[in-house]
Amino acid sequence: MVVQSPLIIDATIRSAAKIKGDEAAGLAPGHTRFYVEADVGTLVRGTAAIPQRVGWVVDAAPDWRGRAPNLKKRRVLAFARPVAGRPDQVQLVTPGAQRDWSPAVDSLARQIAQEASAPDAPPIITDIRSAFHVPGALPGEGETQIFLVTKDNRPAALSILRRPGEQPRWSVALTEIIDDAAAAPRRDTLLWYRLACALPATLPERATASLEPDDSAQAQADYRYVIEQLGSCRNGTNTTSISGDAARG
C-alpha cells in the first residue's frame, strides 16, 4: 500500500457513517462500508498540505464478535490518493487501505516510504532473464547466479554460494558487479518486498535451457532455497505472480 499511496495520513476518526444500498455494492462478506471523517495528525507521506479534517470511504472488516467495528476515535493510517477538486476528500488506494495505528505500523510505513522515494530505490522486478551454475572443485561446492529483468532496465541478480559443511549463502546485486560481500535483504524492506512479491515460485525452464542437466538441476535447487528464505509475500494471500509490484501468494 505504501508504494501505491501518494498520501499516507496519520489521523483520528471523528465520525463514521455506515453506507448501505447501491453505494455499498461489491463489499466482501462480513465487511461494512463507512464514510469517515478524521482529524489529521501527521502527513506521513505527501507533497502538499491537506486540510485539518478529511473524509474517505473504507470497507471495514468485522470485529472479533463478527459485528461492524466501532471506528469512532480510532487512530489510523490511511493509505490514499487525492480527489481532484475536493481537497477535503481522499480515496483509499484499496477499499480496505486503512490500518489501526501502532508504533510498529507507523515505523514500517515511514521506512518503506523513505526507501521508495530514495534515488536508489530498488527496481521493480518483472521477469527472470537467465541463470547459470558453476560447480566448485569440491563436492557440494558451487555458485549459481540468476539474472532478473527490471521495469527500468536496471541490473539485478541473485547469487547463491554453496561451500561444503556450510549453510548456503545468498545475496542480491543491483549493479553490474556481483559483490561477494553482499547480503540478503532484510524482511519488510522494499527490496525484500519486490523480490518476495514478484519472483515466481519456481525457476522458469527457459532460464536454464542452455545449461547441462546437472547444472540446471542445481540452479533450480538454489532458486528454491532463495524462495524459501524470502518467505511469503503477504502471509499466504492468494495473489498473482510477476506483474510489477503484484504479490506472490
Average pLDDT of the residues of the chain: 90
Q: Cα 210–204–192 angle (5° rounding)?
A: 120
- Residue 234's pLDDT band (boundaries 50, 70, 90)? low
In order of start, what are the domains of the chain with their CATH numbers? 7-117 (2.40.50), 125-230 (no CATH)
Query: In the 3-class helix/strand/coil scheme, how is 180-225 assigned residue by residue?
Result: CCCCCCCCCCHHHHHHHCCCCCCCCHHHHCCCCHHHHHHHHHHHHH
Chain centroid, CA 72 distance in Å? 29
Report pLDDT digits (tens) over 56-90. 999 999 998 989 999 999 999 999 999 999 999 99
Report pLDDT digits (tens) over 157-172. 999 999 998 999 999 9
> Region 34-40: what's the mean pLDDT?
97
Residue 32 has pLDDT above 60, yes or no: yes
> Region 89-93: what's the mean pLDDT?
97
> Region 82-103: what's the mean pLDDT?
95
User: Which pLDDT score, from 0 to 100, does residue 52 have?
Assistant: 96
> Region 234-241: what's the mean pLDDT?
39
User: Which pLDDT score, from 0 to 100, does residue 176 have?
Assistant: 82
Residue 209 has pLDDT above 90, yes or no: yes
Q: Do you know the residue count of the chain?
A: 249
**Number of Cα atoms under 13 Å in the Cβ half of residue 169:** 11
User: Which pLDDT score, from 0 to 100, does residue 140 have?
Assistant: 84
Q: Which three cell numbers stand for residue 112?
A: 518503506
State how far the Cα of 227 lies from the Cα of 248, in Å rounded to an integer.
Answer: 10
Q: What is the pTM of this model?
A: 0.79
Q: What is the DSSP string of 55-105?
A: EEEEEEPP-TTSS----TT-EEEEEEEEETTEEEEEEESSTT-EEE--HHH
Chain centroid, CA 151 distance in Å? 16
Residue 243 has pLDDT above 70, yes or no: no
The C-alpha cell 466501532 sits at 70
